[in-house]
Amino acid sequence: MKRYFDTGNRAITEGAILAGCKVFAGYPITPATEIAENMSRRLPEVGGYYVQAEDEMTGMHIAVGASLGGLKTMTATSGPGYILYADPYGWALGCEIPIVVVNAQRVGPVSGITGAPGQGEFYIARYPTHGGNAETIVLAPNSVQEAFSLTVEAFYLSERFRMPVTVLADQLVTDGWETLELPETREEIEKMGLRFKEREICRGPVFYPFTDQLDVPPVVMGHNTGGTCSDWTPTDEGYDTEEVEWAHKHSYRLINKVRNNKEVIRRYEEHFMDDDPDVVLVAYGSPSRVMISCVKKAREEGLKVGCIRPISLWPFLDDLYHRKTNYLVVELNYDGQLVREVQRCVPTGSNVHFFGKCGELPSVAEMLLQIKQILNGEPLVRSDNWEWEAW
């Protein structure tokens, strides 16, 4: 195992290379620029290709095209580019093309602030394109090391499910520096629990089968497969059709290959959840690091507080929120996104509160104050009198 002190962007690059990524296409944007930069250096070393496009939409189209050509591919961006991915993301979902998409979230809306973290694309990652009729897979790292391992996992899932997988990071994870351990031997790779799946080629004649099963080989153009790919509803052999019956079958697969195989994706972390805590904190990504510190501090003070960190964000892990208690959801946005899903999942009689911060992480002290306000039955109020309960 080799130890480095490096960024999440480097970790994502090395994860992609280890997973067998051979093509990167995209457009550099802070705080994901170094992914493009590092990939442009690393890919030629492993016989791969780096393409810088004229904008993000073209970048992802090229990446999706390369995957259709039979190579594992990745693209990376931030919020302003992720929204431009809407069209190619839809192609990749609809035509079941594996690709890994990294979004290093920064403060929004619109271009926001380049070098400051945000969590504004929780729902966009769930609904990255128009038309509905598809589930999505989203993983959220909270450290440099996890940015590495979840990138490897994203490639694995994208091959097995035949679809795009988003790694939803934030500026503090991608631009943040931490110890990064990279495996050098097969034993070290196994010890880290990393999973891999090689690219296979669908040889037809059924290219879009009416089934929820995993491990259907992806459609590849060329290679004498006879595979087809179009943005229209396909028959199972891949021909355009306007018959509603095929739309139903196609949608059934896109939705249920994910819904019926959720356990393959499922990842989360819990702390101090064994004694029915009075307050349960929930956060993903970089604020979850402060959350864990905060819960440890609260326990030292004798407060019955626990926390949940969803790592696989979508499909949402509804069952994690089965306890009837007080919840405090901490996010790097002011509008409250994750909190709405938690509210949907909790049993009747639970109280769901929201604490948002944007552009920088909240502190342990700030979070602890909110916990105490909840325990005392007081409204959550910011120092500038902005009531959090209004989410």
Partner 1 sequence: MGKRIEVLISGFGGQGVVRLGQILAQVSVDENLYTTMLVSHGTETRGGYVRTQVVISDAPVDSPVCEDPDFLVAMSKAAYNKFKPLVSQGVIIYEPYYVEQDHGLHCRQISVNAREMAINELGREIYANVVVLGYLTRLLDGTLSKDQVLKVMLQKIPKFHEENKKAFELGYSLAVS
Amino acid at 25: A
Nearer to partner 1, 136 or 142 (CB): 142
Torsion of CA 61, 284, 30, 177, to 10 degrees: -130
Contact 165, 10 (CB under 8 A): no
Distance CA 386, CA 366 (A): 14
Nearer to partner 1, 68 or 291 (CB): 291
* CB-based contacts of 241, cutoff 8 Å, min separation 6: 232, 233, 234, 235
C-alpha dist (Å) from residue 24 to 94, 189, 341: 21, 23, 33
Contact 32, 76 (CB under 8 A): yes
H-run or E-run covering 339: helix 338-345
Nearer to partner 1, 165 or 307 (CB): 307
Q: Which two tokens stand for residue 104?
A: 């290093």
Nearer to partner 1, 255 or 364 (CB): 364
Contact 172, 38 (CB under 8 A): no
- For 250-288, the DSSP string reads HHHHHHHHHHTTHHHH--EEEES-TT--SEEEE--STHH
Distance CA 299, CA 304 (A): 6
Nearer to partner 1, 199 or 296 (CB): 296
Min CB(365)–partner 1 separation in Å: 6
User: Nearest-5° angle of CA 191, CA 166, CA 115?
Assistant: 100
Nearer to partner 1, 213 or 363 (CB): 363
Nearer to partner 1, 282 or 361 (CB): 361
Min CB(248)–partner 1 separation in Å: 48
Nearer to partner 1, 29 or 150 (CB): 29
Min CB(235)–partner 1 separation in Å: 49
Min CB(120)–partner 1 separation in Å: 17
Contact 155, 16 (CB under 8 A): yes
Min CB(250)–partner 1 separation in Å: 43
Min CB(152)–partner 1 separation in Å: 21
Min CB(187)–partner 1 separation in Å: 22
Exposure string of 149-184, with b = 16+ CB inside 10 Å and e = fewer, is: bbbbbbbbbbbbbbbbbbbbbbbbbbbbebebebbe
**Which residues of the shown chain bind partner 1 in the complex (CB under 8 A)?**
3, 5, 30, 113-117, 171-172, 175-179, 286, 289-290, 292-294, 296, 359-361, 363-365
Min CB(46)–partner 1 separation in Å: 26
